[in-house]
Each structure stands twice: as C-alpha cells, then as structure tokens.
Structure 1
C-alpha cells in the first residue's frame, strides 16, 4: 500500500486523497528554539487530526526541518480560510501576527514563551489543552479596540498610515532638544507640551509602554483611548482617558521642534517633520483574541505582575492563605 503522506505539496498536514477541510495559522518567535519546538509539537498534533496549517514564509524552511514528512504552506501563498492563528512567543510575536490576522478578522491564541505576556494566555505546559480546544473549536473570542494612525503634511496631504494594537509613540529623534507638540481632542486644543514624547494607547496597550510611563491600567474589554505625555516639562502632564470615538491630533510645532519618530507597536515607524500632524482615531477593524478559559482580567493582572494580595502582616515569604492547608 502506497504511503500518501506529503503528496499534496506544501500544505501542513498528513495528506490522504484530499486536502484538509480546516486550517490554522502558526506564527513563532523568529529566534527561539524553544518556540520552534513548541510550534512543531502543536503542528504535528493537529496534522494528525487532519487540520492543515500555514506559517510565515520565513519560517517554512526552519520549521520543515523539525517536521519531516509534513509539508508546510507559506502565508504568502495561503488562500484558505484560517480558523485561528496560534502564536508561540511573547506579546511581541503576537503583535507581529496581528499584522496578518487583523485585516482578515482571524482570532489569535497566544502561548507565552516570553516574560510578562498579557496577550498570551497559555504557557508551554498547556499544550494538550491547546490542541484539544483548537481541534474542537472550544474557545471564546474577545474583540479589542485598535488605533488607526495617519501622518499629514502641512499641505494637508496624507503621506503615511498604519495601525496600533498596543500604542503609538511619538518620540524625539535627537537628545539635544525636546519636542514641542500641541495635543487636540475632537479638533479642540487640550495642551501644548514640551516633552520627550507622547503615547496614545489602547486598553490592551495600557499594561505595556503606557504603564511604564505612568499611565493607568485599563481593562481590555473597555473601549477607550489613553494619552500619556513622556517627561513633559509642565505642571499638568497627567494621562488622559478619552472616548473611543475621539479624534486625537498631535501637531509637531514648526517653531522649535526638530523631526520626531513615530512608532506603532514598536514595529512600524515613520519620521515626522515639524509642521506635520498625526491623527489617531478608532480603527474600523477589531483585534480578535481567542480565550480557552474564562480567566478574569483581575486574575491575570495579579499573576503577571505578581501583585501582593496576602497582606503585610503575614510576612515576607509566607504562603497566600488559599495555599495553606
């Protein structure tokens, strides 16, 4: 009897006389062997259940070496409808995967192999549960607010655009001078800051750069926008929480600023010249995050930040009351 595995070309999966009817996308941290090992284990398991997979083009070759006999489809040629994107890495890898999943409205599941990992809910030890629930479609999907960003020249011509899942950061390009930026909300001036930069964040991004800059933690199911000035030379430089329907304009002033750098999620950047405007509004698409378990955000917050919840009277090193018998 002829072994039919691998005859269908570059699709991931064990192939009999037809292609799989279901597909998932797998995105892996580009430089971590443990991430590739975990992803290979997942692909092998779902392939055995007749679920096809696709991976980023630059990961086809390294992943193939770990999966002899299983062919891989590169995302550049992938035309199937994927059910979910499974990401092995940290939040940075999820932000990379969002560039593919956001315009296609495909939910993502993150397996945390990084550090804090607020977007990634699973750990490496949860592999069996991950495989079973992906195969049985046993998960819920959260929709998250995303930011839409445009850069406009002084003439009014749009010259650059992108999106942000976590935040956009407008930062000075040179250390010798501060940025001079006028911030407006709904086309009304709010404050002009001399500062190192300004962040505009989503609730999802409130536990990232904005948190380090002194912004509040926002529950991710909240629809709102957050603006945080960075090291502003001003008496009033507090974070501002705004409506999700707000329009935020950041005008780099032409009479005192040098060029600035605009970053979206730390991945996509643009030079912003004096006299140009950055406009931030709600993106028409929503980021879709798949959850395998109904874990409240408060529980994730305590776990990820290792927040003390047992009280100082118990002393350092003592167990949480729930952990004692």
Structure 2
C-alpha cells in the first residue's frame, strides 16, 4: 500500500497574488499525486474567492483530517511575516518550511514568485535540505513570580509603552548588569533576526551560520549603548526599572505581546527547539544580502586567481 504524501500549504488569503499562487500550488500538487493540506479558514477563503475553480479540488483540512506532524513540508506563500506566522503555527510539529516570497525583502524565503513551478517541483522530488535556524525562549517575571513565556525566530523586543516617554531599563548578560539607561527599547535577536528589527535599530548583520545572540539598544540616552554580540548559551536579560513607574511592552517577532509593569524582568536564551527551513539554493549569504538590500558592488574584481597567488615563508613580512 502506497503511503500518501501530504504537503501543508499556507497563504495570505487577503492578497490576490497569494490566492492565485495557492490555487496554482494546490493544483500542481494534486496533479503530482500529493495531498495538499490547508487551514480550514484558508480553504473557505479560496472557495469563496475562486468558486467552482477551487471547490472541486481535493484539499485536506489541517488538524482535523491531517495532523501537522504528518505533513512532510510546509509551503508558505507570502513575505517574511507569513513565514513567521507559519513558524508559530508549526512550532510543535518540527515541520520544515519553504517560503515563496510574494512580499518585499523576503530574507526567509527560498524562492520568488517567478519560481513557483520550480518550488512545487522541489517539493514533489524532495529536492531540498533542511536547515536548522536558532530560535529564542523568552521568560517573563514580575515581583518574583513567573508571569509568561513565549518564543521568537527573529527577536524579542522590549519597547516603551507611551509614545511620549522613554522607558528606563537595565540590561544584563549572564547574571551581571552591563548598563542602565532611558531608551525607546532593546532588541534581543538571533542571527536570523539580525537583518530585521535589530538591523533597523543599528545592530550588526550576523551570518546565519554564526552561533551567537545579539542585543541592540534603541535610541538609548547613554554613553555606552553599543550593540552586543554574545555567546549563544548566554542569558540575556532586561529589567524595567521603577524610577517613574513607566511600563514597557514585550513583543516576540512583532506578533505576540505582553505588558511589562515597572519591576518586570525578561530573560532570553537560545531555544532547544530550532525552526526548520527547507533549502534548495545554496546561495552564499553575502550574495543574498547584496540582492535583498540592493547593495552597490560595482568595481569589485573578485579573488586573485590561485595561479597568481604568492606564498611567503613563515614569518616573512610584506613591506
């Protein structure tokens, strides 16, 4: 008896291009003998928008008919925000995600809209590898009591609650305070998130292969407010000071939030559960960086040919 191969398809059904892409992907998967699986609300949206064109297409309902754990890969049609939502949905399923970028930057996506057919073919042929991306565990305390937990693929950010006022924070690494200041907030990011919010706040770009955590103050009124790059097993912490009873807000990937009264403490560590991304293109990250940010590289001549390189004896200096 042949095993049924099931593929999760997630799309931003509020966008016309995503609706069209989802319909095309589902049709191609069915033609290849695979079973497309979608959220019930997405199936209803596509049926309403596409009518008979979609209603007769066999699509399984995620969760009710097919557990997420049974799907072999998830195809995400949208931008980085769609991939972050998908990562939250499949968090407990250990399901690799393949993003098809329909948004703007699309750092997390594996392909573009023009490669939709190829993306389906990669899934059908299982022509991809699975990359493990570091995620964050986030714990929150208030008055000595644990009040909340969350996680993030990109970043956990502590931000001021009131637009017109700063929030007073003290930052800490591995149980030792580093600095205290009034600011708009602090971003704690993974290498994946270094090109998102942390990048916008002036943080460093960290290659995905690097095992490290990043902490970036936002508009801090302090002599020392530099971005910090720390060991991946470090514990980053931020405390909301009680100087003026100013509250903060914790955001995880810009999606999940929690109020932080004065005196709250947020601890961020590397999660034991990474996010899985399905990869096909082995494009160097430097090339992806140049492409996504449209960086100027004119005048580049490239590495020196091996036959033109000169070997120098150990210890000899070039003067």
Which of 179, 198, 205 does residue 191 from structure 1 map onto?
A: 179
Distance 1:279 1:53 in 2: 39
Cα distance, 1:20 vs. partner?
6.2
Matched, 1:113 2:102: yes
Counterpart-to-counterpart distance in 2, 1:274 and 1:297: 40
Shift of 1:124: 1.1
Q: How does 1:284-323 map to 2 (within 5 A)?
A: 284-311=272-299
Deviation at 1:97, TM superposition (A): 0.1
- Contact kept, 8 Å, 1:178 with 1:257, in 2: the verdict is no
State the match for 1:83 in structure 2.
72
1:134 to 99, 115, 123: 123
Unmatched tracts of structure 1, length 5 or more: 1-17, 313-325
* Deviation of 1:218 (Å): 0.6
Residue matched to 1:63: 46
CA contact (8 A) 2:78 2:101 kept: yes
Match for residue 280 of structure 1 among 264, 268, 272: 268
Contact residue 139 and residue 291 of structure 1 kept, 8 A: yes
Q: Report if the CA contact (8 A) 2:13-2:45 is conserved.
A: no
The answer to whether the aligner puts 1:255 opposite 2:243 as a matched pair is: yes
Secondary structure of the corresponding residue to residue 149 of structure 2: strand
Contact 1:91 1:119 in 2 (8 A): yes
Question: Equivalent residue for 2:234?
Answer: 246
Residues 53-106 of structure 1, C-alpha deviations (whole Å, 9 max, x = no match): 221232111223532311333324232611111000000000000012232111
Alignment correspondent of 2:258: 270
Residue correspondences, number: 294
Contact residue 226 and residue 239 of structure 1 kept, 8 A: yes
The structure 1 segments of at least 4 consecutive aligned residues displaced by more than 4 Å after TM superposition are none
| Map of 2:89 onto structure 1 | 100
Cα separation, 2, equivalents of 1:128 and 1:37: 13
**Aligned ranges for residues 207-218 of structure 1 at < 5 Å?**
207-218=195-206
* Structural RMSD (CA): 1.6
Q: Which runs of 5+ in 2 are unaligned?
A: 301-319
1:244-291, Cα deviation, whole Å (9 max, x unpaired) = 101111110122241111110110001001011101011110011111
Maintained 8 Å contact 1:177/1:257: no
What does the per-residue CA deviation read over 1:115-161, in whole Å, with 9 as the maximum and x for residues that have no partner? 0110012111112211111011010111111001011111x221111
Aligned to 2:303: none
Partner of 2:61: 74
> 8 Å contact 1:102–1:288 — kept in the other structure?
no
- Equivalent of 2:4, from 21, 36, 46? 21
Residue of structure 1 equivalent to 2:18: 35
Equivalents in 1 of 2:150, 2:23: separation in Å? 32
Answering whether residue 126 of structure 2 is matched by residue 152 of structure 1, we say no
